[in-house]
């Protein structure tokens, strides 16, 4: 087993303590710049293996919803948004500001509010540093430099898929590593607040999960397989709804009325 060198150890000490947007203490070991680079690499790989839509109406619609959400996410960077021509009912957001939406998602999340609920949820994972938590936990479990080295050098396809899964792109690369229930709950709450602040009706988040359940059956959507839509989850969203509706009314009063027209 290899020992962590003094520079890495110091970085661990300096970055291990973090707090989520909802006040939870987190184990965050990786520099954000490293996670951003990983996100860029993962996004590039998905782009190389899955064609983007050539339908301008679809791209315009998804970008309209995504940009309204990311404006509320803070930061000065511009998020890159891609619509992939694939029947998967799924989406993801990556560190470094990249969002991918699969064309099949629009058949289930068929209103701007429901699409905003998905994108808000995925962006919330990024804002809450959930990918960093998962990579950090993996790093801590290995107790050495193997993972860190694998992030900065060529790796085998199996390791590469695992890293992409840790970032939240697992369903598309064949490795399912769902976020923890705690992380999912955080993303639900942060995401519903984001969509409300952007001027989307937060009640669309509840309808989204009901529609996901109805689209399930024997072959559930990939989004449902990694984001289990349970009655408990819907109940938690309902418990957050009074707060979210307050944000929504404030946003509408401030003139935030996204005019995103489904294709």
Q: Which residue is it, tokens 């294709």?
A: 263
User: Among this protein's residues, is 142 annotated catalytic?
Assistant: no
114: left (phi over 0), alpha (psi -120 to 50) or beta: alpha
Q: Could you give phi then psi for residue 108, rounded to 5 degrees?
A: -105, -50
User: Cα separations (Å) of 89 from 33, 110, 145, 244?
Assistant: 30, 11, 36, 26
- In sequence order, what are the residues at sequence separation of 6 or more whose Cβ sits closer than 8 angstroms to the Cβ of residue 113? 195, 200, 201, 202, 203, 204, 205, 207, 208
Question: Could you state, in order of their start, the residue ranges of all structural domains in the chain?
Answer: 21-253
- pLDDT at position 102: 95
State the catalytic residue, choosing from 72, 122, 133, 222: 122
- pLDDT at position 54: 94
pTM over 0.75: yes
Tens-level pLDDT at each residue, the chain (263 residues): 334 443 444 344 444 657 777 777 677 777 788 888 888 988 998 899 999 999 999 999 999 999 999 999 976 568 999 999 999 899 999 999 999 999 999 999 999 999 999 999 999 999 998 888 887 777 665 554 455 555 545 555 555 666 666 666 755 544 456 677 888 889 999 999 999 999 999 999 999 988 888 876 555 566 665 565 577 888 999 999 999 999 999 999 999 999 999 99
Distance CA 210, CA 141 (A): 37
């Amino acid at each position: 087993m290899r020992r962590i060198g003094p520079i890495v150890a110091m970085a661990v000490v300096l970055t291990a303590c973090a707090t989520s947007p909802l006040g939870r203490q987190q184990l965050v070991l990786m520099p954000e710049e490293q996670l951003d680079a990983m996100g860029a690499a993962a996004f590039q790989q998905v782009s190389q293996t899955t064609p983007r839509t050539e339908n301008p109406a679809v791209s315009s619609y998804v970008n309209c919803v995504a940009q309204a959400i990311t404006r509320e996410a803070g930061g000065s960077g511009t998020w890159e948004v891609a619509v992939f021509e694939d029947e998967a009912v799924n989406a993801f957001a990556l560190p470094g500001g990249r969002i991918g939406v699969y064309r099949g998602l629009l058949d289930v999340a068929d209103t701007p509010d429901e699409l905003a609920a998905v994108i808000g949820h995925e962006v919330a994972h990024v804002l809450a540093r959930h990918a960093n938590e998962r990579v950090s936990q993996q790093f801590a479990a290995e107790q050495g430099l193997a993972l860190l080295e694998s992030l900065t050098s060529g790796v085998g396809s199996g390791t590469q898929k695992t890293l992409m899964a840790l970032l939240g792109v697992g369903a598309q690369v064949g490795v399912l590593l769902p976020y923890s229930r705690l992380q999912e709950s955080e993303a639900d709450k942060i995401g519903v607040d984001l969509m409300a602040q952007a001027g989307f009706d937060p009640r669309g988040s509840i309808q989204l999960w009901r529609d996901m359940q109805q689209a399930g059956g024997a072959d559930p959507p990939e989004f449902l397989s990694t984001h289990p839509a349970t009655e408990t989850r819907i109940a938690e969203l309902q418990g957050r709804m009074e707060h979210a509706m307050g944000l929504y009314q404030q946003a509408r009063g401030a003139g935030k009325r996204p005019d995103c027209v489904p294709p």
